[in-house]
Amino acid sequence: MSERGKKFNRRSTRIQDRFVLPFETVSYMHSASVTENFLVLTEIPLHFSRFSVLRTLPSGTAITNMFNWNGDNMSTIFRVINLDTGEQIAQIPGSTFFNFHHINAFGLKMEDTTTILIDICAYDDHRLIDELYLK
């Protein structure tokens, strides 16, 4: 971690102090990307459903049944957060995909613009989750 990142971590005593982002729905997030200046969250269209919890918990079925795939009518959103201020500086719609892990991320500064490049293991939809269960 960079010295700047270490200072950021020491400044914050609780995770709530870092940033608060408004979300319309609770999206499954397993990984995120961090560059020297930014945090990038992928808000994939796999959403937590309170109603599914009521169905899932008593039946003893998989926890993943508490989520609904909405990839047919929603895209993946990239949320870019400035690590210095904690403010969301961009919300960028992308193609629809499911992912577990971000692999690498870095920023390229060109004149007055910074482009963030992210390597993500992406899948067309969430069916991979079901394939991980032993049956």
**Mean per-residue pLDDT, 65-93:** 90
pLDDT confidence band for 12 (50 / 70 / 90): low
Residue 79 has pLDDT above 90, yes or no: yes
Q: What residue ranges do the domains of the chain occupy?
A: 3-17+25-131
Q: What's the pLDDT score for residue 90?
A: 94
Per-residue CA distances from 64 to 22, 32, 47 (Å) = 23, 20, 10
Average confidence score pLDDT of the chain: 82
Q: What's the pLDDT score for residue 28?
A: 87
Residue 47 annotated in ligand binding: no
pTM for the complete prediction? 0.77
**Mean per-residue pLDDT, 98-120:** 91
Residue 102 annotated in ligand binding: no
* Between 88 and 1, residue with greater pLDDT: 88
Which residue is listed with tokens 């991979």?
128
Q: What is the pLDDT of residues 13-43, one digit of tens each?
A: 554 455 677 777 888 888 999 998 899 999 9
Which residue is listed with tokens 């892990």?
101
